[in-house]
């Protein structure tokens, strides 16, 4: 008998042409797709019952010069097989001027996640209603969560350069 | 009437934690609310990339100060999954007991915040005192009052000391014997009912659409708990019930919290009865030379606020390549709060915020 | 406690008043706030030491900086500190405001708080226990007695330098300077 993951994988491969799906664990399905099909894949999964967007994450693979976006979906269903499944939808985009469409029309709670990724990775989400700063106060030349941003160097350059008031007084 | 912009927090008596909301108000009705987080942003996930696998343990527990234990568990579980480490049976039980104690402590802290905000100072003082009794147990077990660093990949750091089982039972009896007092003065109090009923109402449909988890979801009538659906530690070894309410307002949410606390106490008694003897940790490789294969993992657990997850990526090195925490307060504080505050009065902002169980450090990380 | 020391009371009643009624500002600046509720409730009743939390900076004279200070919080800490009436005392709670603590390499937290506002005392540790708060309070009494808790005088005397440091991190501050120039303590007496 096939388990829920295998069935879903077959269903996905039938419906979409250029995606790869893999059941690596008993309860885990990894889907790789192109960046313009993400939204259709997500809405397909949403309609098949995986209606909880747990997380949108991003990994900076600096050696391959790509950013990998990871959408993690689970289900609210009380059906045991479905509720155990974790689906990871992955897509790769370029590091220079990264951008893709927002998934807010499918999952409403994607809004703060996309705002965060815009701020920490510099990814532009087209159609997002407010891409305003979420966490940060200062402006950074390189978005701080990218691999080429060195926090230790930044701390030395900014915070360690500020003199103690006593030293300043002695100087004058 | 003219619309005004009102800044609520971060320095405000009705605000728990370092968080701020910008309210557009008309009279005392809220037209629009905008959450403004980031006062506690430390860039944890970036810092974790620069420390070795084992060095990260003191760091992860500081992400959420109210319940550091679930954060430890999450990181340990992810490392175990990546490195393929097994956990002994006794350690699983100890983990469950420890996490349930942490849940009781965290709920009592939440009860303190809620009662204090409503003006029930007596109940607030009781809750804080009872939480301190739980912290005393932690102190004996781990040496720390707030941050414990007790859960370790491959088990827990040390076994229960002698007579610790009895002291857990004694403490829980002390707290449990005060439940009627709590009920009479707070939960069945008419004032609490009037203040909390029909405040911050969300339906089950809305809650699902906006990604609610934990009490917020269970208060709308949905029976969902990671401890049941994807059991970790020893939660599949004992029988227990998921407490549910159906109204979806502040009143139901706090009642769900109360029922969960009582369920946790019962669960600890059952776990203590069934606890097997044996080892409490499996050996891990030398932490200085520990490298973990090139893989990624997503793990989740039920913290006292709802679904907590961790997406951990390794590139085969001695440090995590990327870690991303999925925290329950994130959606509660940024999506649901904005929705729940609409058309409420200014006086209920604190009420709704605390009943949604939002902790700011979890949002900002 | 030197409540029987009548001579001291008569000599400087104002100082004694400040000493035994420390009004702590209710501001959760970091994770150290978790140990404040236990210390103000029944088990470690802080009112025994005359410490009581108050709602607004206008009523407060003790500022407990509980835990790490992110850049965004620093703005509000300065705002709140400047709104507090003199004499005012600042105590850094936990390791993080002293030198960054755990977050020494974080890009978003302040490493040395005393570069931006004056701090009268520190409580080291992560997390300091509630007893440590009371040790700090009794220590602060001694400092007040000896006239050494004079952070607010230092702030006045070096205001230009403090403001420069603050603006280096936060950019141009939107509120006007509290003092137009550095004012020495003796000078301030004559103005006021």
CATH no. for residue A39? 3.30.460.80
State the pairing for strand pair C89-93/C62-66: parallel
The two structure tokens encoding residue B258: 């109360």
Q: What's the pLDDT score for residue A133?
A: 84
Quote the pLDDT of residue C2.
55
> Is C108 in Cβ contact with A162 (below 8 Å)?
no
DSSP B15: -
Q: What is the largest CA-CA distance in chain A?
A: 82
What is the model's pTM?
A: 0.90
The per-residue pLDDT for A14 is 80
Please list every residue in chain A whose beta carbon sits closer than 8 Å to the beta carbon of residue B320. none
Output the six-digit token pair for A98. 């990264």
pLDDT of residue C185: 65
Contact between C69 and C34 under an 8 Å Cβ cutoff? The reply is no
Per residue in A42-78, pLDDT (tens digit) is: 888 888 888 888 889 999 888 888 888 999 988 887 7
What are the angstrom distances between the C-alpha of B8 and each of A172, B12, B19, B261?
42, 7, 9, 31
Rounded to whole angstroms, the Cα distance separating B289 from B276 reads 33
Answer yes or no: is pLDDT of A37 > 80: yes
B155 φ, ψ (degrees, to nearest 5) = 140, -145
In this prediction, residues C7-32 reach a mean pLDDT of 79
Q: Name the nearest CA neighbour of B216 among B262, B265, B261, B257.
A: B257
Domain assignment of residue A148, given as a range: 4-171
pLDDT-derived band at C187 (thresholds 50, 70, 90) equals low
Q: How far is Cα of residue B11 from the mean position of the Cα atoms in its chain?
A: 24
Tell which wins on pLDDT, C1 or B171.
B171
How many domains does chain B contain in total?
1
pLDDT of residue B169: 92
Tell me, what's the pLDDT at C141? 87
Record: contact A151-B211, CB cut-off 8 A = no
To probe the interface with B, which of A29, A105, A109, A116 has the most B CB atoms within 10 Å?
A109
Q: What is the longest distance spanned by two Cα atoms in chain B?
A: 70
Whole-number Cα distances in Å, B149 to B67, B318, C128:
12, 20, 16
Tell me which residue in A137, A154, A164 faces C115 most closely, judged by beta carbons: A164
Residue pointed to by tokens 């007790």: B150
> CA gyration radius for chain A?
21
Strand A66-74 and strand C121-123: pairing?
A: unpaired
What share of chain A has pLDDT > 90, as a percent?
1
**Do residues C109 and C31 make contact, with C-beta atoms less than 8 angstroms apart?**
no
Residue B238 CA to residue B243 CA, distance in Å, equals 16
Low-confidence ranges of chain B (pLDDT < 70): none
Interface contact C154, partner A, CB < 8 A: yes
**C77–chain A Cβ distance below 8 A for any pair:** no
Residue contact C170–A137, C-beta within 8 A: yes
- Cα–Cα distance between B51 and B104 in angstroms, integer? 32
Residue of B nearest to C42 (CA): B125
Q: Please tell me the predicted confidence (pLDDT) of residue B236.
A: 86
The answer to whether B220 and B344 have CB atoms below 8 angstroms apart is no
**Could you give the C-alpha distances from A118 to B313, B334, C73, in angstroms and in order?**
20, 16, 22
Taking an 8 Å cut-off on Cβ atoms, the answer to whether C34 and B146 are in contact is yes
Q: Taking CB atoms and an 8 Å cutoff, what residues of chain A touch C167?
A: none
Beta bridge partners of A86: A28
Q: Does B10 sit within 8 Å of C70, measured CB to CB?
A: no
Nearest residue in C to A171, CA atom: C161
CB contacts < 8 Å between A and B, how many? 85
- The C-alpha atoms of residue B161 and residue B150 are separated, in whole angstroms, by 14
| Range of the structural domain that residue B47 is part of | 3-364
CA of C29: which chain B residue's CA is closest? B18
Indicate which CATH number applies to the domain containing B197: 1.10.645.10
Name the nearest CA neighbour of B142 among B90, B98, B76: B98
User: What pLDDT, on the 0 to 100 scale, is given for residue C94?
Assistant: 86
Determine the Cα angle at B297 with ends B292 and B302, to 5°: 125
- How far is the CA of A18 from the CAs of A30, A116, C16, C113, in angstroms? 14, 29, 78, 54
Q: Where do the DSSP E strands lie in chain B? A: 3-8, 20-26, 29-36, 151-152, 155-156, 296-303, 306-313, 322-326
Chains that touch B (3 or more CB pairs under 8 A): A, C
pLDDT, residue A2, reads: 66
- Cβ-based contacts of B111 with chain C (< 8 Å): none
Pairing of strands A86-94, A66-74: antiparallel
Enumerate residues 6+ apart whose C-beta is below 8 A from A155: C104, C105, C106, C107, C111
Rounded mean pLDDT, C78-106: 87
Number of domains in chain A: 1
User: Domains of chain C, with CATH numbers?
Assistant: 6-191 (3.40.50.12280)
With the CA atoms of C105, C108, C113 and C117 taken in that order, what torsion angle do they form, in degrees rounded to the nearest 10? 160
Q: Tell if the CB–CB gap between B46 and C37 is shorter than 8 Å.
A: no
Q: Which residue has the tokens 């104690």?
A: B101
């Amino acid at each position: 008998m096939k388990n829920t993951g295998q069935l879903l994988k077959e269903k996905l491969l039938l419906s979409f042409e250029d995606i790869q799906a893999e059941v690596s664990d008993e309860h885990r399905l990894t889907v790789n797709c192109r960046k313009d099909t993400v939204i259709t894949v997500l809405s397909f999964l949403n309609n098949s019952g995986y209606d909880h967007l747990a997380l949108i994450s991003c990994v900076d693979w600096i050696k391959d010069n790509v950013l990998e976006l990871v959408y993690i979906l689970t289900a609210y269903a009380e059906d045991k097989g479905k509720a155990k499944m974790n689906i990871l939808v992955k897509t790769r985009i370029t590091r220079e001027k990264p951008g893709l469409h927002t998934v807010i029309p499918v999952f409403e709670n994607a809004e703060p996640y996309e705002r965060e990724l815009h701020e920490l990775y510099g990814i532009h989400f087209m159609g997002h209603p407010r891409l305003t700063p979420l966490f940060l106060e200062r402006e950074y030349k390189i978005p701080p969560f990218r691999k080429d941003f060195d926090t230790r160097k930044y701390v030395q350059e900014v915070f360690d350069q500020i003199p103690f008031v006593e030293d300043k007084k002695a100087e004058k | 009437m003219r619309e005004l912009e009102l800044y609520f927090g971060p320095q405000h008596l009705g605000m728990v934690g370092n968080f701020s909301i910008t309210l557009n108000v008309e009279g005392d009705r809220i037209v629009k609310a905008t959450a403004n987080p980031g006062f506690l942003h430390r860039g944890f996930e970036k810092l974790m990339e620069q420390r070795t696998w084992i060095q990260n343990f003191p760091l992860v527990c500081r992400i959420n100060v109210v319940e550091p234990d679930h954060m430890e568990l999450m990181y340990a579980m992810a490392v175990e999954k990546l490195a393929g480490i097994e956990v002994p049976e006794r350690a699983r039980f100890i983990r469950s007991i420890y996490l349930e104690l942490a849940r009781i402590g965290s709920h009592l802290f939440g009860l303190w915040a809620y009662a204090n905000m409503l003006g029930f100072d007596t109940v607030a003082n009781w809750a804080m005192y009872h939480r301190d009794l739980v912290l005393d147990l932690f102190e004996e077990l781990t040496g720390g009052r707030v941050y414990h660093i007790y859960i370790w990949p491959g088990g827990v750091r040390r076994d229960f000391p002698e007579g610790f089982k009895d002291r857990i039972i004694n403490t829980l009896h002390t707290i449990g014997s005060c439940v009627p007092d709590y009920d009479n003065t707070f939960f069945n109090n008419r004032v609490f009912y009037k203040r909390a009923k029909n405040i911050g109402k969300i339906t089950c449909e809305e809650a699902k659409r906006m990604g609610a988890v934990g009490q917020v979801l269970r208060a709308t009538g949905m029976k969902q708990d990671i401890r049941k659906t994807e059991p970790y530690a020893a939660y599949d070894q004992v029988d227990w019930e998921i407490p549910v309410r159906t109204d979806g307002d502040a009143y139901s949410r706090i009642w769900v919290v109360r029922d969960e606390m009582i369920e946790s106490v019962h669960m600890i008694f059952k776990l203590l009865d069934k606890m097997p003897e044996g080892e409490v940790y499996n050996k891990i490789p030398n932490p200085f030379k520990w490298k973990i294969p090139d893989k990624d993992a997503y793990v989740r657990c039920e913290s006292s606020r709802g679904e907590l997850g961790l997406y951990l990526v390794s590139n085969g090195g001695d440090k995590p390549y990327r870690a991303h925490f999925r925290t329950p307060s994130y959606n509660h504080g940024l999506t649901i709060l904005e929705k729940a505050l609409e058309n409420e009065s200014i006086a209920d902002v604190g009420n709704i915020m605390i009943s949604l169980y939002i902790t700011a450090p979890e949002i900002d990380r | 406690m030197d409540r029987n020391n009548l001579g001291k009371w008569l000599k400087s009643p104002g100082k004694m008043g400040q000493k035994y009624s420390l009004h702590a500002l209710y501001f959760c600046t970091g994770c150290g706030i978790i140990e404040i509720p236990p210390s103000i409730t029944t088990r470690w009743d802080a009112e025994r030491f005359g410490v009581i939390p108050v709602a607004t900076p206008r009523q407060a004279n003790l500022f407990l900086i509980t835990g790490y200070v992110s850049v965004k919080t620093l703005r509000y800490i300065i705002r709140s500190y400047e709104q507090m009436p003199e004499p005012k005392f600042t105590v850094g709670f936990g390791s993080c405001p002293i030198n960054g603590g755990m977050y020494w390499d974080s890009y978003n937290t302040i490493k040395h708080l005393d570069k931006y506002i004056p701090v009268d005392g520190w409580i080291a540790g992560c997390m300091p226990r509630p007893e440590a708060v009371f040790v700090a309070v009794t220590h602060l009494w001694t400092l007040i007695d000896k006239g050494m808790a004079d952070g607010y005088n230092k702030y006045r005397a070096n205001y230009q330098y403090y403001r420069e440091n603050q603006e280096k991190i936060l950019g141009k501050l939107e509120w006007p300077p509290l003092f137009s120039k550095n004012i020495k303590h003796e000078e301030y007496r004559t103005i006021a």
